[in-house]
C-alpha cells in the first residue's frame, strides 16, 4: 500500500542531503536527536503530518498523503525502526526490502531525511507538533482539525 509506505518513510525519518549547512548524523546521534520528541514533517510530494519516534523503534503520528484528503492517524509497532551498521533502517510490512535512511541535521530543532540511494525521496522535519509548527510559520493550512489535533501526545 503506497500510502502506508510513504507514512512509514516519513515517520521513520526520510531525509538526507550533504548540502552546505547540514550535519550528517549517524544512527546513535540521530536516535538522541529524535527519540521521544514530537516532529512535524513535509515531504517532497506534499505529504505532511506530525509524529513521535520512540527508543523501542515504534512510532505514532498523523499523515495527510500528498497534502490532500483526510489526515490519518498511524501507529508503527516496536521494532519497526532499528539500527543496522550505524544506519537507521525500517522493517515495513509489504515492502520486499528494508529501507535505510540518510539523516542530516539542518538546525538545532530540525533535520532532513531521505531513503538511502533515493535522495529525491525526502522529508523535512521540525521539532514540535504540526499545529505548533504551523503557528510558528503562520501557515493555517497545516493545522490539524477536530479530534486529530489531540490524537498525538
Q: Is residue 34 included in any domain, yes or no? A: yes
CATH code for the domain of 11: 2.40.128.640
H runs (alpha helix) in the chain = 2-12, 27-34, 130-137
Whole-angstrom distance, CA of residue 104 vs CA of residue 145 = 30
Whole-angstrom distance, CA of residue 118 vs CA of residue 59 = 22
Q: Is residue 78 included in any domain, yes or no? A: yes
Q: Is residue 109 included in any domain, yes or no? A: yes
Whole-angstrom distance, CA of residue 103 vs CA of residue 26 = 7
Q: Is residue 148 included in any domain, yes or no? A: no
Q: What is the pLDDT along the chain (153 residues), one digit of tens a residue?
A: 444 444 455 555 433 333 445 778 888 888 888 889 999 999 999 999 999 999 899 999 999 999 999 999 999 999 999 988 888 899 988 888 889 988 899 999 999 998 888 888 899 999 986 555 444 444 444 444 433 444 444
Q: Residue 130 in contact with residue 145, Cβ under 8 Å?
A: no
Measured in whole angstroms, how far is the alpha carbon of residue 1 from the centre of its chain?
A: 18
Q: Is residue 113 included in any domain, yes or no? A: yes
How many domains does the chain contain in total? 1
Q: Is residue 6 included in any domain, yes or no? A: yes
pLDDT reported for residue 118: 84
In this structure, what C-alpha cell is assigned to residue 75? 501507529
Whole-angstrom distance, CA of residue 64 vs CA of residue 12 = 15
Amino acid at each position: 500500500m503506497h500510502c502506508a509506505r510513504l507514512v512509514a518513510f516519513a515517520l521513520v525519518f526520510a531525509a538526507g542531503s550533504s548540502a552546505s549547512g547540514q550535519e550528517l548524523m549517524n544512527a546513535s546521534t540521530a536516535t538522541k536527536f529524535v527519540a521521544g520528541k514530537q516532529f512535524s514533517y513535509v515531504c517532497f510530494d506534499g505529504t505532511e503530518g506530525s509524529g513521535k519516534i520512540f527508543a523501542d523503534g515504534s512510532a505514532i503520528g498523523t499523515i495527510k498523503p500528498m497534502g490532500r484528503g483526510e489526515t490519518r492517524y498511524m501507529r508503527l509497532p516496536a521494532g519497526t525502526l532499528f539500527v543496522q551498521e550505524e544506519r537507521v533502517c525500517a522493517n515495513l510490512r509489504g515492502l520486499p526490502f528494508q529501507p535505510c535512511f540518510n539523516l542530516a541535521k539542518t538546525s538545532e530543532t530540525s533535520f532532513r531525511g531521505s531513503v538511502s540511494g533515493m535522495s529525491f525521496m525526502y522529508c523535512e522535519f521540525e521539532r514540535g507538533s504540526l499545529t505548533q509548527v504551523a503557528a510558528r510559520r503562520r501557515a493555517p493550512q497545516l493545522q490539524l482539525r477536530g479530534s486529530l489535533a489531540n490524537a498525538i501526545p
